[in-house]
Structure 1
Amino acid sequence: MKASTFQTIIVGLLCLAVAGLSGGLFNQYQRMAELQSTNTQRFQTLDTLQRDLSALRDAQEKLQYSLKDLKQMVDTGEQQANTLDPMLDQWAQEIQEMRDGLAERATVKDLTALSGRFEHVEQQLLELKTQPSLPPPTSSANKPKKTAPPKPVPLSPPFSVLGVESRGGERFLAVAPHDSSSLIDVRLLHAGEQFGAWHLKVLEPHSAIFSVVAQPDQTVQLP
């Protein structure tokens, strides 16, 4: 074999070897580039996960603080409820005692008033029994005829008539002064009792007849 031919073969083999090494290096370079790109993406993903984890930790801390505040509010509300419950019970008991006391006082007052009216009626009955009997009326024929007197002008009573109340089967006329606006000033008049100069004579179904000093009987219509 000639020397020139052998050199040509050697050079061709070296070229092939260099070409193969170049191709292998290129492939290795591409793989390195791909690995670097993958690592970069992974680092970016890791950074995102770390930021998300930090945000979750912050949210967890805020939630813990909120839960702590809520627990304190619940504890405070329970303490206030434990304090207010006995006070409410005490107030309810005091209000009930006041109602019972008012009912008892009102009952005693009514009984005292009725007892006074019954005593007054008994005294009037005794006075009527002890009065002498009236003489028999004379015949109307012997009486001189009189002209009809002028009709008197009705007087205005010094009270307002509120109505009629029944107590123990007896009827009472409820009256009050004109300028009164309180229940304390209301009076219950029985036949024979008086309000100022007005004496109640008869309590009829729809009117009340009063006798007034130096005046004819006055009729007051019931409301």
Structure 2
Amino acid sequence: MKASTFQTLIVGSLCLAVSGLSGGLYNQYQRVTELENANAQRLQTLDTLQRDSSTLMDAQEKLQYALKDLKQMVDTGEQQANTLDPMLDQWAQEIQELRDGLADRATEADMIALRARLEHVEQQLLDIKTQPPLPPPTPSSAKPNKAARAKPVPLSPPFSMLGVESRGGERFLAVSPPDSRSLTDIRLLHNGEQLGTWQLKALEPNAAIFTVPTQPDQTVQLP
């Protein structure tokens, strides 16, 4: 074999070897590039997962704080309820007591009747004040009968008697100052109570009996 022919075979073999090696290297390069791209995608996916995980952790932390605040609100609401329940019971009891007290007091009809009676008494007092004075007694009537026993002169009470009022089955004598025309000055006297030096001893159907110091019992007719 000629030397030129052998050299040509050697060069051809080397070219084939280099071509095969270059193809293999290129394939390895593409494989490495694909692996790098896949790794980059995995890293990007990992970063996205990490961000999502951080967001979830933040949301979980906020939810825990919200649950803690809600529990505190519930505990506070229970404490307020425990405090308000006795207060509501007390208020309900006080309202019921007020209702019972109002039921025991005089009704509006009683006040209207009492006002009408007072106006009637005031008119009677005005009529009495406007009447002319009585004429002086004649000498014959002015002479006392020495044989007859002297009778005590009845006293006039230092107040005006308006009538008798009933409260809870008890009878009270309604009185007021002589010159008063105000309802606020009216006073109800029960047996044993007194106004000034006059003490109410008893209430009869048509009269009131008073005890006055140093005087006999005074009987005053009711209006």
TM-score in terms of structure 1 length: 0.52
1:189 aligns with 2:106: no
Cα deviation digits, residues 60-82 of structure 1 (max 9, x gap) = 01111111111110111011112
Q: What CA distance in whole angstroms lies between the structure 2 residues aligned with 1:106 and 1:89?
A: 28
1:51 aligned residue: 51
1:84 aligns with 2:84: yes
Q: What CA distance in whole angstroms lies between the structure 2 residues aligned with 1:40 and 1:192?
A: 113
Shift of 1:198: 3.9
1:160 aligned residue: none
1:213 aligns with 2:130: yes
Matching residue's letter, 1:84: L
Cα deviation digits, residues 161-193 of structure 1 (max 9, x gap) = xxxx6xxxxxx5xxxxxxxxxxxxx71228963
Cα deviation digits, residues 131-185 of structure 1 (max 9, x gap) = xxxxxxxxxxxxxxxxxxxxxxxxxxxxxxxxxx6xxxxxx5xxxxxxxxxxxxx
Cα 1:60/1:191, change in 2 over 3 Å: closer
Shift of 1:196: 7.0
Cα 1:104/1:93, change in 2 over 3 Å: same
Cα 1:42/1:192, change in 2 over 3 Å: closer
Cα 1:103/1:18, change in 2 over 3 Å: same
Q: What CA distance in whole angstroms lies between the structure 1 residues aligned with 2:90 and 2:13?
A: 114
Cα deviation digits, residues 93-123 of structure 1 (max 9, x gap) = 111112211221326x94xx9xxxxxxxxxx
Cα 1:45/1:195, change in 2 over 3 Å: farther
1:32 aligned residue: 32
Q: What CA distance in whole angstroms lies between the structure 2 residues aligned with 1:32 and 1:195?
A: 127
Cα 1:101/1:65, change in 2 over 3 Å: same
Cα 1:89/1:3, change in 2 over 3 Å: same
Q: What CA distance in whole angstroms lies between the structure 2 residues aligned with 1:192 and 1:39?
A: 114
Matching residue's letter, 1:13: S
SS in 1 for 2:116: strand
SS in 1 for 2:9: helix
SS in 2 for 1:6: helix
| Aligned residues with identical type, % of pairs | 70
Q: What CA distance in whole angstroms lies between the structure 2 residues aligned with 1:32 and 1:48?
A: 24
1:15 aligned residue: 15
Q: Which runs of 5+ in 1 are unaligned?
A: 114-164, 166-171, 173-185, 200-210, 216-223
TM-score in terms of structure 2 length: 0.52
Matching residue's letter, 1:213: T
Q: What CA distance in whole angstroms lies between the structure 2 residues aligned with 1:22 and 1:191?
A: 135
Q: For the aligned residues, what is the CA RMSD?
A: 2.8
Q: What CA distance in whole angstroms lies between the structure 2 residues aligned with 1:58 and 1:48?
A: 15
Aligned positions, number: 131
Cα 1:196/1:72, change in 2 over 3 Å: farther
1:92-107 residue pairs with structure 2 within 5 A? 92-106=92-106
Q: What CA distance in whole angstroms lies between the structure 2 residues aligned with 1:34 and 1:54?
A: 30
1:45-194 residue pairs with structure 2 within 5 A? 45-106=45-106, 110=110, 187-189=115-117, 193-194=121-122
